[in-house]
Amino acid sequence: MVKVSIVIPTYNERENIGKLISTLKSILENLNYEIIVVDDNSPDKTYEVVENLAKKDKNIKLIRRIGKKGLASAVVDGFKKAEGNILVVMDADFQHPPELIPKMVEEIKNGYDIVIGSRYVKGGKIEDWSFLRKIISLGAIFLARILFPKIKVKDCVSGFFALKREVIEEKELNPLGFKILLEILVKGNYKTVKEIPFTFKGRIKGKSNLSKKIIFEYVVHIVKLMRESKEFLRMLKFGFVGFLGIFVNIGVLYILTEIFGIYYLISGIIAVELSILHNFLWNYFWTFKDRNNKFLNSLCKYNLSCLISMVINILVLYTLTQYFGIYYIISDLIGIICGFLANYLLSNHWAFKE
């Protein structure tokens, strides 16, 4: 039988939580459900309100944690207590419309593994956000998507989503800060994701807990996720292959010129192409082994990707030296770094794409 567990993290939501729970109760009437509120011992005693409601209704449960441990970890603790096979996460402050939950649950029943309430697909909106908050949000999403090609959704940092229990079962979730969905999208066991648009309303009561510290925690969280999901290792492998390629390049240049007596510029061109081929083989069969791309297709794209990176390298060398008066060796070093990053991004997102 299907059971839905709604997990709601709270911190100083005394004015909201009672009303939200009664709204949920009327919306979820026809479902088998439980509501799990995870409160971090809020100074405004949010837990008291929930405790009283829980006494009268066995579908309402409270986890009261002592010592503020954060939004994302609160959700993980909620999951641990949850009995449902469908898990829903939402905020307590009415910025997430409860009316959307039946539709999200329906889509999970239709077969989607994860359903996300999304502000960034067509039809989605954000009310009342400052320009700065919008930039921070888009920056957070951009960073996540560029570093984790596995993530294909627009709103990967939404706090409103539903998922099948299997997605996170047996997965070690260890998130930091606010972005529990990001943790699930990187580590979870899922195939299909659906985004449903919604309007992220302005907060009426209470205030946002987002602070500079949370933004900093986001960056630390991303770095931690890169380590845990082996994306760092991938970048290291890619760099190591490039390093080996330098020796192939120089070796071929030397042998063709010295032993075969070929004009050095011709040897140079052959050396470049052979080192690209060499790097490709390593990257195809090692760095991006898990991606299962078509060999020839990847090969062509990787060649192009190297060409584009070379152009970027030269452009940076030229611009920094010519227009900024920087010593040309330093300009070149910066150019090499830019070229490397461009090549990595193009390889990761295009030539050897997921």
Which residues contribute to the site for ligand GDD (CB under 6 A)?
9-11, 13, 38-40, 68, 70-71, 74, 91-93, 95, 137, 157, 159, 178-179, 208-210
Q: Shortest distance, CB of residue 234 to ligand GDD, whole angstroms?
A: 26
Minimum CB distance to Mn ion smaller for 20 or for 276:
20
CA atoms within 13 A on the CB side of 346: 20
Cβ neighbours of residue 126 closer than 8 Å, sequence gap 6 or more: 119, 134, 137, 199, 200
Q: Shortest distance, CB of residue 11 to ligand GDD, whole angstroms?
A: 4
95, 249, 309, 347: which one binds Mn ion (CB under 5 A) = 95
Q: Which long-range contacts (CB under 8 A, 24 or more apart) does 220-227 make?
A: 220/176, 220/177, 221/72, 221/175, 221/176, 221/177, 221/179, 221/182, 221/183, 222/143, 222/144, 222/147, 222/182, 224/174, 224/176, 225/148, 225/182, 225/183, 225/186, 225/187, 226/147, 226/148
Minimum CB distance to Mn ion smaller for 112 or for 200:
200
Beta strands, E only, the chain:
4-10, 33-39, 60-64, 86-89, 114-118, 125-126, 161-164, 193-197, 199-200
Tokens of 342: 């461009």
Q: Which does residue 118 touch among Mn ion, ligand GDD, none (CB within 5 to 8 A, set by kind)? A: none
Question: Contact, 171 vs 188, CB < 8 A?
Answer: yes
Q: If binding is defined by CB under 5 A, does position 93 make contact with Mn ion?
A: yes
∠ CA 298-302-306, rounded to 5°: 180
Q: Which does residue 159 touch among Mn ion, ligand GDD, none (CB within 5 to 8 A, set by kind)? A: ligand GDD
Q: Which does residue 175 touch among ligand GDD, Mn ion, none (CB within 5 to 8 A, set by kind)? A: none
Q: Shortest distance, CB of residue 28 to Mn ion, whole angstroms?
A: 21
Which residue matches tokens 């990707």? 305
Q: Which does residue 209 touch among ligand GDD, Mn ion, none (CB within 5 to 8 A, set by kind)? A: ligand GDD
Q: Shortest distance, CB of residue 125 to ligand GDD, whole angstroms?
A: 13
Minimum CB distance to ligand GDD smaller for 40 or for 107:
40
Q: Shortest distance, CB of residue 75 to ligand GDD, whole angstroms?
A: 8
Residue nearest ligand GDD, CB atom distance: 159
Q: Which does residue 157 touch among Mn ion, ligand GDD, none (CB within 5 to 8 A, set by kind)? A: ligand GDD
Give the residues lining the site for Mn ion (CB under 5 A). Answer: 91, 93, 95
